Amino acid sequence: MAGEPTARGVISAGVDLFAAALAAQGVAVTPVDWRPPAGGDREVAALLARLWREEVDAANREALARLLAARPVLVDVRSALEVVPGMTRDTILHAGPPIAWERMSGPLRGAVVGALLYEKLADSPESANRLAAAGAIRFDACHHRAAVGPMAGVTSASMPVLVVENRTHGNRAYSTLNEGLGKVLRYGAYSAEVIERLRWMEEALGPALGRAIRAAGGVDVRALIAQAVQMGDECHNRNRAASALLLKALAPHLAALDLPAAARAQLLAVAGSNEHFFLNIGMAACKAALDAAHGIPHSTLVTAMARNGTDFGIRVSALGARWFTAPAEMPAGLYFAGFSAEDASPDIGDSAIMETAGLGGFAMAGAPAIVEFVGGTPADALAATRLMYEITLGASDAYRLPALDFRGTPTGIDLRLVVQTGVLPQINTGIAHRAPGIGQIGAGLVKPPMECFEEALRAFAA
Amino acid sequence: MTDRLAGGGALSATVASVHARVLNLRLENGELVCAGAAEVPLAANGLSIDLPPDTTLRMLGLEAGQPAAVSDTVLTIAARLCVRLAGAGRWEPRPRPARMPRSELARRGRRARALAAAEGTSTSLLPLLWAQGDAGALPEPARSAALPSLALWTAAVKGDPAGVERASARLAGLGLGLTPSGDDYLAGFAAAWVLANEALGEGGRRRAEIPHALAAGAASGASALGHAWIAHATRGEVAEPMTRFFGALLGGRLGALALAGSARGVLGLGASSGTDWMVGALAGVEAALAAQASAAAWN
Amino acid sequence: MELITLVRRDAYADSVALMRLSAELRALPGVVAASAVMATELNRELLGDAGLLTSDAAAAGAGDLVVSVRAESQAAARAALERAEAMLAPRRGGAAVARESAPRSIWSAARHAEGATLALISVPGPYAAAEAHAALSAGLHVFLFSDGVPLEDEVVLKRRATALGLFVMGPECGTCILDGIGLGFANRVRRGGIGLVGASGTGLQEVTTLVHRLGGGVSHAIGTGGRDLDRAVGGLTTLQALEWLGRDPETRVIVVASKPGSEVVAHRVLDAAASSGKPVIACLLGGKSAPPETVRAVATLDEAARLAVIALGGPLPSFPAFPDPVSRSGGRVVGLFTGGSLCEEAEGIVGPGHRFIDFGSDRFTRGRPHPMIDPSLRNAAVAAAGGDASVGVVLVDVVLGDGAHEDPAGTLAPAILAARTTAARAGRTLCVIGHVVGTEEDPQRLSDQEARIVDAGVIVRPSNRLAAELARAIVGEPDGG
């Protein structure tokens, strides 16, 4: 039986004239700023028409519910070999969709070389290069192993990894520890200093953190992020508050560790001085939440966005293990003194998982300082977040933005909405130098290539 | 442009208009020169001058009607502003397209058009990208521009300069703004026609007649700035953000990676200028492709 | 005294927000004490000290939100907790989050526009189905003005809509009146007991305005789009509308005005109408088969209006009688119309051998606005008819209402004068007959518009049929069957 058709409130897409005639009759009309999908591609429009149906809508409700219900808790730090699924001594995981050595970009290659030196699989950069080129190393995407890594994201067997458990669904996700700023592995540096630091992290930082976390009974990452986004963080480019809150939670347990005073002081100093310390934890938390929403038949929820410095790739809940890739774009932003757009590497890193889960660029309204990176104003930050509501299935329960009247951040990117509106997810990102080992040269904004989403849409039709 | 000035010795000029950070000079030979501060996108006929951040040109006492003089070394205006040109960096407003097969140009054109449709400003000529026969449903200025833009496209493809001139006359001056929407559209169309044909390896007298007919048609209706930019466009000269766009659209494989970013750089210009220019440019690219296809059919 | 607690697991709220909530709860009638806090150890102690600690609250953890209320009665306590739930609920957007730019899709617009019930879609045809489907997913009825929507898309849309209990009115639906609100091209008509379902926009406009002019009123007029009675579509929207009009207490008489499409479907539809138990009048132009007994079949739109008003009860309405035309001229009739159904009906009445042009058809609307918005093409044809020696009568329609031109008669009048002048100079009499579709309540005002064309020498008739019959009589066609 049909519900009563009424025109009490009308949404109008198309000719202005009729909207005006309704307004003249005192009806509340909301006009839509309508553009045809894919610049007017009728095939795409026909595909979209087929994807608006009960089966898909129901699957999306399920997927969004799982995403929002996730409760990520930081439970441990362990070596990658111990906990990362299928990890072996000759495996090197990297950020972004799968990619062969020949196509890897400068920073990623540098990081691979650094990892091979660190694992003592090679004794010089030249022999590391030869080893990799010879096919002697198993490369795989972090994402395939329930892991994520910022920038190059290179993860190898001996590295300590954070363990985050999604208490609601029981699944876990992993990420390496953040090395800090400057010349670090994730930007492709592989000097002796870098290797030494990695060893210190393996021998001192990792185990100590692990013990402190276990002693604390775990750290509720969701609650921590909820506070941080109300303190000026968006948890991708700005992690200052979250890192401080994390340290606050762990400090008593770090202080209680049975260690020489100097070692303890060094731990606290390193953890405390790294403003992006929280990033890797936040990434693993978002990965754990999104993995629980992946694999739902008929769902058009985007469950991963990731880059490897060459390609940008996305995954969609119903489309299983498939990646949909296109050449990664150049971020637009501000550069540190002495650097410019010519020096930039194409977009790189798994950190777009933050946006996929409703943080980062999607929470920019809470971190207005970020837009200074692109010469924008706080009003631009608000506008950027608001625009993301156009492409998401819902809003976060936990992460609320005071600047938007405590509305939840836009969460749950719907593939259909991205292609239908043409609005692309807004990602806040650091910018790496294209040559390995130089490091971060700026920060800014970047969007995925629309081709990824159009290709994923076509996969639904097949 | 300074090279052209070098040849002719000093020229006198008059200030045509003054804005906060940009002024226009009318040279005695009729050409318009645009002098703007560093943050103003560099126009094809432009000079970028080191104006201090908190200074406006009006604060310097500059007004329309004042006399000026330009040579290849210095620009002076009314004894109040002296800009040293000698040793200034040169900038090339004319992109050099790479040769490419039509399928590749068509593919890139489609990508640019999809991005423009999604991200262009809506109160502009943007609806022309997708409105086929439904002109009645369009808001202004797109509604008035619908039939003339179709006529322009058809005439260019057929190689009909008189038709191009007529259609151009209907578009010139259409719409509001410092540069009316129609002027921006024409400038985009002309530049894209010239450069896309070059990329496709299509030279020839008939191709070259089209931009001149377009400029002739716009002569009486276009605004002063519009007129200048259309003139530059017929030579394939464009403003800086547009050179980056053409560099991506008509460049080598690496250049194409910058297509999205450079297109965004154009779409954001002015209130709707960038979008209007882009809609015209995409029409010019498609016209060049269609002209090549129909010529092939006749041969 | 009642003490109850609300515990929200793993919910974080800012301490300032919680203090505001606590203060608001304390101010409610009957509330003695209230506190909203994150259940940290310290806060649980504070709750205990305040006598607000229940076992639920005691069991809560630092990541949980607790709202505890002590009130004079159960009712007051429950009311306070309800208020707390409302204040903690996710906000939809609200006045404080004023949208600075318009929504980019019907879906997102529906999420933020409180109380939206219907989507009005007039985007180009190839893209309309995707928009209509998104609207259905958002729980909205659809008024689909767009044409050029493939038939297969229409079938899928209407099947889905029927399953969801939502209406898809269209494609190519020009007119609807829902609860007194006009959608698309519609006229301001009195509310009353006549419910209409129709495939044609101008057909619905003619019947509804005539109902009004005959003293009756309209409950709803539902457009179904031109193909609804086709075999493939199966009359889905018509059946839905009839079922609903049958249930609607406002509606006492039902009018079905359509082209018959498939005979099988027409039959099914008329059976459904009959089963409503309300009087049904059917005007299926060109229909062949006999309708069910309880359905009155009529051949013209104005007759449908007249019988509907009669069925409502009250004084018997009729159109004024007109004297026979004084002179008969020879020549042909040329009908120059802006409304498709009006053109079709008139052509059927005048008969073959004359020229009828619908300026709203595809041929004329490529790249141009619809003639009801911009009648210049039709008016030019009127002026030109004066120079055609074979033409004895020009027959025109003038359509008023929301969405139509602000003064259609005003733009037509000069063209009529020009035509008559041209004919007069050539020594011919040109007769112009017209019908104005509209009411006094329309923005253009019926009496004003009729006066304007009468001044230009038009013979005005109050219905399309009467105008067409007059035209036929003047050119000397024998009365048809």
* The pLDDT value given to residue B139: 81
* The pLDDT value given to residue B298: 44
Residue C225 zone, left/alpha/beta (φ > 0; ψ -120 to 50; rest):
left
Among A238, A322, A232, which residue's Cα sits nearest to residue A277?
Answer: A238
For residue C386, give the H/E element and its range.
none
**3-state secondary structure string across chain A:** CCCCCCCCEEEEECCHHHHHHHHHCCCEEEECCCCCHHHHCHHHHHHHHHHCCHHHHHHHHHHHHHHHHCCEEEEEEEEHHHHCCCCCCCEEEECCCCCCHHHCCHHHHHHHHHHHHHCCCCCCHHHHHHHHHCCCCEEEEHHHHCECCCCCCCEECCCEEEEEEECCCCCEEEEECCCCCCCCHHHCCCCHHHHHHHHHHHHHHHHHHHHHHHHCCCEEHHHHHHHHCCCCCCCCCCCHHHHHHHHHHHHHHHHCCCCCHHHHHHHHHHHHHCCCHHHHHHHHHHHHHHHCCCCCCCCCEEEEEEEECCEEEEEEHHHCCCCEEEECCCCEEEECCCCCHHHECCCEECCCHHHHCCCHHHHHHHCHHHHHHHCCCHHHHHHHHHHHCCCEEEEEEEEEEHHHCCEEEEEEEEHHHHHHHCCCCCEEEEEEECCCCCCEEEEEEECCCHHHHHHHHHHHHC
Where chain C has pLDDT below 50, the residues are 92-98, 480-481
Chain C residues touching residue A30 (CB < 8 angstroms):
102-103, 109, 112-113, 116
Q: In this model, does residue A370 exceed pLDDT 80?
A: no
Among A220, A273, B27, A155, which residue's Cα sits nearest to residue C62?
Answer: A220
pLDDT band at residue A322 under the 50/70/90 scheme: very high
pLDDT over 90 percentage in chain B: 44
Tell me: the pLDDT tens digits for A162-194? 999 999 999 999 999 999 987 899 999 999 999
pLDDT higher at A333 or C359: C359
The pair of structure tokens assigned to C271 is 């059976």
* The pLDDT value given to residue C373: 84
Beta carbons within 10 angstroms of residue C116's beta carbon: 24
Beta carbons within 10 angstroms of residue C33's beta carbon: 17
Beta carbons within 10 angstroms of residue C385's beta carbon: 25
Rounded Cα–Cα distance for residues B149 and B152 (Å): 5
Non-local CB neighbours of C267 within 8 Å, separated by 6+ positions? C289
* The pLDDT value given to residue C475: 87
Non-local CB neighbours of A418 within 8 Å, separated by 6+ positions? A302, A391, A424, A425, A450, A453
Among B39, B1, B33, B40, which residue's Cα sits nearest to residue B16?
Answer: B33
Among A423, A400, A425, A389, which residue's Cα sits nearest to residue A303?
Answer: A425
Hey, which chains touch A, using 3+ CB pairs under 8 Å?
B, C
Among A197, A190, A188, which residue's Cα sits nearest to residue A149?
Answer: A188
Give me the mean pLDDT over the B259-280 stretch: 92
* The pLDDT value given to residue C90: 59
Tell me: the pLDDT tens digits for A417-442? 999 999 999 999 988 999 987 888 88
For residue B68, give the H/E element and its range.
strand B67-70
* The pLDDT value given to residue C95: 38
Rounded Cα–Cα distance for residues A445 and B260 (Å): 13
User: CB of B150 within 8 Å of any CB in chain C?
Assistant: yes
DSSP C36-98: EEE--HHHHHHHHHTT---HHHHH--TTSEEEEEEESSHHHHHHHHHHHHHHHSPP--TGGG-
Non-local CB neighbours of A186 within 8 Å, separated by 6+ positions? A107, A111, A149, A150, A151, A152, A153, A154, A179, A349
Contact B134 C124 (CB under 8 A): yes
CA A460, distance to chain mean position in Å, is 24
For residue B186, give the H/E element and its range.
helix B181-199
CB C162 within 8 A of CB C141: no
User: CB of B224 within 8 Å of any CB in chain C?
Assistant: no
* The pLDDT value given to residue C294: 80
Give bridge partners of residue A304 from the DSSP assignment.
A315
Question: How many Å lie between the alpha carbon of B119 and the closest alpha carbon of chain A?
Answer: 7
Rounded Cα–Cα distance for residues B275 and B284 (Å): 14
DSSP state of B95: -
CB B145 within 8 A of CB B183: no
pLDDT higher at A376 or C206: C206
Hey, which chains touch C, using 3+ CB pairs under 8 Å?
A, B
- Report which listed range, A17-21, A397-401, B88-92, B255-259, is most confident: A397-401
Non-local CB neighbours of A88 within 8 Å, separated by 6+ positions? A81, A138, A157
Q: In this model, does residue B6 exceed pLDDT 90?
A: no
Rg of chain B (C-alpha set): 19
Non-local CB neighbours of B232 within 8 Å, separated by 6+ positions? B43, B44, B45, B93, B187, B191, B238
Contact C104 A3 (CB under 8 A): no
* The pLDDT value given to residue C16: 65
* The pLDDT value given to residue B117: 95
Nearest CA in chain C to B147: C367
pLDDT higher at B155 or B94: B155
Residue C176 zone, left/alpha/beta (φ > 0; ψ -120 to 50; rest):
beta
* The pLDDT value given to residue C303: 92
User: CB of B131 within 8 Å of any CB in chain A?
Assistant: no
Beta carbons within 10 angstroms of residue C301's beta carbon: 28
* The pLDDT value given to residue A381: 87
The mean-pLDDT minimum among A262-266, B155-159, C433-437 falls in A262-266
Task: Give the nearest partner residue to B261 out of A332, A421, A451, using CB atoms.
Answer: A332
CA dihedral in degrees (B216, B218, B223, B225; nearest 10)? -60
Question: How many Å lie between the alpha carbon of B50 and the closest alpha carbon of chain A?
Answer: 20
Contact B147 C122 (CB under 8 A): no
Q: What is the complex's ipTM, to 2 decimals?
A: 0.91
Tell me: the pLDDT tens digits for B50-81? 787 778 888 888 888 888 888 777 888 887 78
Contact A10 C117 (CB under 8 A): yes
Task: Give the nearest partner residue to C122 out of A14, A48, A54, using CB atoms.
Answer: A14
* Cis status of the peptide bond prior to B141, with omega within 30 of 0: yes
* The pLDDT value given to residue B224: 83
Q: Using the structure block, give the residue that is written with the tokens 């010089």.
A: A124
Contact B260 A447 (CB under 8 A): yes
CB C347 within 8 A of CB C380: no
Backbone angles phi, psi at C105, to 5 degrees: -150, 160
Residues of A with CB under 8 A from a CB of B: 14-17, 33, 35-36, 38-41, 327, 329-330, 332, 346, 421-424, 447, 449-451
User: CB of A169 within 8 Å of any CB in chain C?
Assistant: no
User: CB of A21 within 8 Å of any CB in chain C?
Assistant: yes
DSSP state of B211: H
DSSP state of C247: H
Q: How many CB pairs under 8 A join B and C?
A: 24
Give me the mean pLDDT over the A250-268 stretch: 90
Q: Using the structure block, give the residue that is written with the tokens 């990520």.
A: A72
pTM for the predicted model, two decimal places:
0.87
- Rounded to the nearest integer, the mean pLDDT of chain A is 93
Give me the mean pLDDT over the B268-284 stretch: 93
The pair of structure tokens assigned to C132 is 């209509």
Question: How many Å lie between the alpha carbon of C16 and the closest alpha carbon of chain A?
Answer: 11
- Rounded to the nearest integer, the mean pLDDT of chain B is 86
Exposure pattern of A252-266 as b/e (b: 16+ CB <10 Å)? ebbeeeebeeeebeb
CA dihedral in degrees (A263, A265, A268, A271; nearest 10)? -60
Q: How many CB pairs under 8 A join A and C?
A: 227
pLDDT over 70 percentage in chain A: 99
pLDDT band at residue B133 under the 50/70/90 scheme: low
CB C304 within 8 A of CB C281: yes
The pair of structure tokens assigned to B287 is 């016209």
